[in-house]
Structure formats: C-alpha cells, structure tokens
C-alpha cells in the first residue's frame, strides 16, 4: 500500500468498516445488517488481499464497504493494525467495530447452533485463546459492542447509532393500494380496509377516473371519516414503525384495500404516503390495480 499515490481525505472518499470480534459474538449478523444499510460486504477476506481489494475499490462506485475479519486469519491478524493505518494514509476512512460477549453466552450460542469453534480445542479453552489473540484488535477498535444480552433488533439499533443513520432510513416502507376482488397482496405486512367509505364508482362522472384525480379526491374528502381515518391510522403507523425497526425489520409493506383498487384505496394510500414522508419517513408508493 505504501506505493499508492497519497490522496487528501475528502468527504467523497471510500469508507471501510471493519467488523471483528469473538466467534459467536454476532459478526455475521452485523455484516447482514450493514448489507441492509446498503453497504458492500465481504466476509473473511484474507488480509493478504486487502491491498489489492482496496485498489479495486478506488475505481468502483461503492462508497461504503464492510469487511468481516476474525480469528480464521490466524497469525496474519497481527498485520491488521498496520493495514488499517495504511488505508487511512491513502485516503480511506476506516472504522473498526469489535463484537464481544460473555463466555457463558458464547458457550450457549455454540451449543444451540452446533457450530464448531475455529480453534480446534475444548470450547472454553478455545474462547480463552481467541480472547488473547484478538486483544490487540480489541485495543485499537473504534467501537466495542457487547452482544451478550442483545437481540438482533437491538444490535441493529446500536450499529445504526454507530453509523449515525436516522432510524427512518433503516426500513424500506411501501404503501400499496389494491382491490379486494383481485386478492390481498402476498407481500402485505399490514392491511387496512377502506370499503367503509362511499364508493366513487357509483358516481358516473367519477367511475372512469382514479383516486389520484382531483374530482375523486374532492368527493372522498367530503366525508369527515376520511380525515379521521388518515389521522388515526397515521398515528398508529408512527407508533408501530419504530417498534418494527427495533426488532430488526428491514421492509414494511402497508396495503390499503377497497373493492376494485382504483378509487378509495388509491386516494388513501397516496395520502398516507404523503403524510408519512412529511413525518420524516422514506416511503415508496405503488397502486397495484389502478389500471384494472
């Protein structure tokens, strides 16, 4: 790496997060979480290939990379602090996260998964040896996370805080309108039925229009229960979404249905999406049966 042309650090430079720690402490789950956040992830890349890999990254579009490093590197692990320093000198932003857990929790996890420890010794002895070998990495880590008592959702939340990501950006939220006559969408996590509203289909001037048309919107909003539903259901969603995020859910599809999927459900889905966006959430909007 020392042969590289030195570059000044800029906000557009590549970011490399190195995930390491004890076997069974959650490195694989952490990398999956980074993947959910849009990172390009590589697990167990040999340290001998770091220089070549970093050079390749300079010409790729990925800005955020997460690399998993663990005890399987053996004696080469002692070179990681030097590699990290050289990455910094060559314009990469690096951040090392060390995952830890108690001996009893690690024993429990290995017993539950039936996985073998990378160090071929009795489990307690293997954990002790691994702690000793990883101590230099633990000492240079920018962040240490103890996963002993963390659920997957809580680990994701801690990683999100470390990455300084807003909670809204952790989950991909989709608002989907549909018609019950064509079946409930299989991908729906939450389903709301708005067939309690008067149907514009029975108004001749509105029948061929959709819920996105101003005359249909005017007709639907003339009923007080329309605004009441939007207010109450939005309040429910604002309560539920952070709960789903805490449990580690990455995708949430909210389906709004009416009879045909062209009028009431379309209008309601559009208004709910707009209201959630105004509340700071990232929301996509899709109308499945609008052209039926």
pLDDT higher for 164 or 137?
Answer: 137
Gyration radius of the chain's alpha carbons: 25
pLDDT band, very low/low/confident/very high, at 61 (cuts 50, 70, 90): low
* Average pLDDT of the segment spanning 24-51: 85
pLDDT band, very low/low/confident/very high, at 171 (cuts 50, 70, 90): confident
pLDDT higher for 249 or 242?
Answer: 242
SS3 86: helix
Would you say residue 8 has pLDDT above 80?
A: no
Q: For residue 242, what pLDDT is reported?
A: 84
Would you say residue 170 has pLDDT above 80?
A: no
Neighbouring CB atoms inside 10 A of 10's CB total 8
Q: What is the DSSP string of 167-213?
A: GGGGSEEEEEEEEGGG---TT-SEEEE-TTSPPGGGSTTTTTS-TTS
Distance between CA atoms of 53 and 56, rounded to whole angstroms?
5
Would you say residue 223 has pLDDT above 90?
A: yes
Would you say residue 129 has pLDDT above 80?
A: yes
Would you say residue 3 has pLDDT above 60?
A: no
pLDDT 10s digits, 70-111: 888 888 888 888 888 888 887 788 889 999 999 999 999 888
Establish how many alpha carbons lie within 13 A of residue 265's alpha carbon, considering only the half-sphere containing its beta carbon: 27
Q: What are phi and psi of 23, to 5 degrees?
A: -60, 130
Q: For residue 215, what pLDDT is reported?
A: 95
Domains, the chain, ordered by start: 15-165 (3.40.50.300), 168-287 (no CATH)
Q: Which of 76, 88, 87, 92 is nearest to 134 (CA)?
A: 76
Would you say residue 216 has pLDDT above 70?
A: yes
pLDDT 10s digits, 173-206: 999 999 999 999 988 999 999 999 999 999 999 9
- Nearest-10 crossing angle of helices 214-221, 264-278: 90
């Amino acid at each position: 790496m020392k042969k590289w042309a030195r570059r000044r650090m800029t906000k557009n430079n590549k970011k490399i997060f190195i995930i390491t720690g004890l076997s069974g402490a959650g490195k694989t789950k952490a990398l999956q979480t980074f993947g959910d956040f849009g990172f390009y992830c590589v697990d167990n890349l040999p340290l001998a290939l770091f220089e070549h890999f970093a050079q390749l990254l300079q010409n790729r579009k990925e800005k955020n990379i997460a690399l998993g490093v663990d005890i399987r590197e053996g004696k080469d692990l002692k070179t990681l602090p030097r590699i990290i320093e050289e990455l910094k000198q060559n314009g990469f932003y690096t951040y090392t996260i060390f995952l830890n857990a108690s001996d009893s929790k690690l024993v429990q996890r290995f017993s539950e998964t039936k996985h073998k420890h990378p160090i071929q010794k009795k489990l307690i002895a293997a954990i002790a040896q691994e702690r000793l070998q990883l101590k230099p990495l633990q000492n240079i880590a920018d962040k240490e996370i103890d996963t002993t008592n963390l659920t997957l959702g809580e680990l994701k939340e801690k990683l999100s805080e470390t990455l300084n990501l807003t909670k809204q950006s952790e989950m991909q939220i989709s608002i989907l309108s549909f018609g019950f006559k064509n079946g409930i969408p299989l991908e729906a996590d939450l389903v709301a039925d708005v067939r309690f509203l008067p149907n514009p289909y029975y108004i001749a001037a509105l029948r061929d229009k959709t819920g996105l048309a101003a005359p249909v919107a005017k007709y639907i909003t003339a009923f007080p229960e329309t605004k009441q539903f939007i207010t109450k259901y939005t309040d429910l969603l604002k309560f539920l979404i952070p709960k789903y995020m805490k449990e580690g859910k990455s995708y949430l599809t909210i389906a709004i249905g009416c009879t045909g999927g062209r009028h009431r459900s379309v209008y309601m889905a559009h208004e709910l999406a707009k209201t959630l966006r105004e509340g700071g959430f990232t929301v996509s909007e899709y109308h499945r049966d609008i052209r039926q």
